[in-house]
Every structure is written in structure tokens, then in C-alpha cells.
Amino acid sequence: MVLNYIWIAFFVIAFIFALIGLAMGDTTIFQKIVDSTFDSSKNAFEISLGLTGVLALWLGIMKIGEKAGVVNVLARALSPVFTRLFPDIPKNHPVMGSIFMNIASNMLGLDNAATPTGLKAMQQMQELNTKKDTATNPMIMFLVLNTSGLTIIPTTILAFRASYGAAQPTDVFIPILLATLVATLAGIIITSLWQRINILQPVLLATLLGMCAFVGIIIWGFGQMDKDTMNTVTTLASNMILLGIILCFILAGFWKKVNVYDAFIEGAKEGFTTAVKIIPYLVAILVGIGVFRASGAMDMVIQGISWSVEQCGLNADFVGALPTAIMKPLSGSGARGMMLEAMKNYGPDSFVGRLSCIFQGSTDTTFYILAVYFGSVSIRNTRHAVACGLLADLAGVIAAIAIAYLFFG
């Protein structure tokens, strides 16, 4: 229901801004909006088409792991923590393994691997759902963990900074880690309070503190490296872990005498079906975002924020990077474009250029994830998923600004 109102608002606000633009003499504004609808529709289909191969690959690998029992092993290992964070999921249910695979992929910045495992987890949780059109508490907690976007190795952002000639492409690495950690912890706490989950349970509290300690060790370790070594280690680690997961699942299947080829084909067929199923949901959300942006509403929002900050007598240096933060919950590619535009216009080593990179890495694409994940299982009533996801995003944005001033201000 929330997405319904937001989607309508995109079009209503865009139309109002278009009328204002026409009154100010811009006779091409409606043409721009109409062109945006066609471009966004095409982009949605191309995204889904591009996901087809990746979905087929990873759901095929997941099917091997499922038949070999690897997913069940992961589920049992994570049961003490996940049964408290996801109390409505039965103990040792295979979905626990899928959730772990998804979260691990996100932490390593392996976007292509994260989406298929996330969709698999949603399908498994839907099997436990008694109201098939309504999101369950575990689904919402899982979605918030995704939208808060905990990333240990932001490989893509570092690569873009290097390509734009940043003196030290990795200087945003620690700030991104800190900002994304804040967003994730905020998302867990907010959703737990909403769902009345006791986060002070010893096991759960120890896990959260352990997560903070792990990130701290990572920060310390990479802080001892120069930029070239850091780039090499992050790229090598990501690819080795990714290939290691694939090899582990295949060898486990072989050890358990599973016909790994047939199991892969079975899972790959599910990937193709899922890719086709999410097309309408992607078209809907990306067209709404495209119309909102083409109308000039996004620019007006940025200008309004800048004016308000200046009127309060506050430092408005961060406002130039806000387009990335505002676009990130709406569109990953749009936010990436805003980040690149900020580095191009202000310079990769400017405060705005660095902050835009931190924004890009601090959270994930909330509405895109909601549309794809909920759309894959035909969920229409999202309950408090949007509110929790956006509050986690807000925490990440505020943390990113504070951290940027601390490191680069």
C-alpha cells in the first residue's frame, strides 16, 4: 500500500512541476517526461534481461548447494542468531542458509551474486507465509538488512575513483565502512523495535558487538596498506571468495553423489522464470522515478534543502553531494550517475566528490530492492518495510555527512 501512494505521488508531483516549468516558458518539459517513461521502461527490461543469465547461474549453484546439504549446514550454524533475529522462521529452516549467502554477498560487494540469493530467500520465506499478498516480519527484516547495504569491500566505488584520477582512490574506504555499519545497525534496531524483538538477548547482542569488532579489525588491517595494495587485496579477495563458493557447492554435490549438472539446470530454470516475473515491477518503479527526475522535481528538492541549510547558518558544503543520497533509495544506476557527475564537476578529491562516494556506499537502493524482492513473490502489502528501510537510509545519510566532515572537512 505504501508503494502505491509513493508511485502515485511521483506522477502527481511530476505533473505539477511540469506545469510550473511550462508556465516559466519550458515548452519541452512534457516531451522530456514522456521520453523518460519510454527510456525508463526500456531500462527496466534491459535490467531484467541482464539479470537473467546471472539469476540462472546463481540459482543453479544454489540448487546444487541445496541438494548437497550445504545450505542446511549454514542454516544450522546460523540458527542461534537468526532464530532470534527472525523468530517466525522455524529452527534450521533452509532459508537461513540463503539469507546468509545473500548477506555475505552484499558485504563483499558481489552485487550479481547477492540478488539471486536474495530472491531465493524470499521464495523460501513465501512458502512459510500464510497471507501470500502480505509481507511477513522475517521478509521485512531481511529487506531492511539489504536496503541498509552493509558492504565490507566497496570495490566498484574504489574503481570509479581511480578512473577519475583520485590521488588516493581508497581514502573513502574507512568512511564508507563506518557509514554503512551505522545504517545496518540502525536498520536492525528500528525493525526489531517495530517487531518487538528483544535485541538485548545475549546471543543477538554479542553478534552485533562482534560485527562491530569484525569491521574494526578490517578497518585496522586495510589501514596498514598503501592504496595499491588495498586495491589488489580487495579485488583478489572478492573474486577468490566468489569462485570458492561456486567450487565448494559443486564439490559438496559431487561428494554427496548429486548429479550436479541436472541440479544446476533445475535451478537455472527457476532463474529464468524469476527474471521474467519481476519485469512489471521494475517497469513500474523505474518509470515513476524517471518521471519524477525528468520533471525537475529532484533539482527543486536539492535547491530547497540548500536554501534551508544556508538560512539556518549551517555549513552547506554537503548539499552538492545530496543528489546521490536522494537518488540512492530510488535507483542504483541513477545514484551512480550522480556520484560520477559530482566527481566530474567538483573533482574526485573534493569534499563533495568524496561525500558522494560515501553516500553511494553507505546504503542500498531501497525502492528497487522492495520492487524486485517483493515483486518476485507477488507481495502487495509491504506493511512497515518502506518506513524501516527509509529510516535506515536516513541514519546512513546522516552518518555519512558527519563522517565526511570528520575525515575530510
pLDDT the model gives residue 137? 94
Q: Answer for the pair 135, 128: CB distance below 8 angstroms, yes or no.
A: no
pLDDT at 139: 95
DSSP-derived 3-state class of residue 134: strand
CA distance linking residue 20 with residue 296, whole number of Å: 10
Cβ contact 357:176 at 8 Å = yes
Tens of pLDDT, residues 239-283 = 677 688 789 889 989 998 889 999 999 888 877 777 777 788 778
**Closest C-alpha to 92, from 80, 109, 107, 104:** 80
pLDDT for the residue numbered 152: 64
Q: What would the 3-class secondary structure string for 248-317 be?
A: HHHHHHHHCCCCHHHHHHHHHHHHHHHHHHCHHHHHHHHHHHHHHHHCCHHHHHHHHHHHHHHHCCCCCH
Instruction: Specify the pLDDT at position 75.
Output: 67
Give the chain's length.
Answer: 409
Closest CA to 286 of 174, 367, 203: 367
Phi and psi torsions of 21, nearest 5°: -60, -40
CA dihedral 245, 250, 255, 256 (to 10 degrees): 100
For the chain, give the percent of residues with pLDDT over 70: 89
The pLDDT of residue 231: 63
pLDDT at 155 (0 to 100): 64
Residue 198 phi, psi (nearest 5) = -80, 105
Please calculate the CA angle 192-196-202 and round it to the nearest 5 degrees: 70
Q: Which amino acid is at 191?
A: T
Q: Quick count: other Cβ atoms within 10 Å of Cβ 59?
A: 26
CA of 340: how far to CAs of 162, 295, 323, 345, 353, in Å?
12, 21, 11, 9, 8
pLDDT at 61: 83
pLDDT at 337: 67
What pLDDT was estimated at residue 343?
Answer: 84
Give the relative orientation of helices 70-85 and 227-255 as an angle to the nearest 10 degrees. 120
* DSSP reduced 3-state for 381: strand
pLDDT of residue 4: 74
HSE on the CB side for 253, CA within 13 Å?
Answer: 22
**pLDDT number for residue 129:** 93
Ordered alpha helix ranges (H), 110-226: 111-127, 137-147, 155-163, 173-194, 202-223
In the chain, which residues have pLDDT < 70?
1-3, 47, 51, 71, 74-75, 105, 107-113, 149, 151-153, 155-156, 159, 227, 230-231, 234-235, 238-239, 242, 314, 331-334, 337
pTM score of the predicted model: 0.72
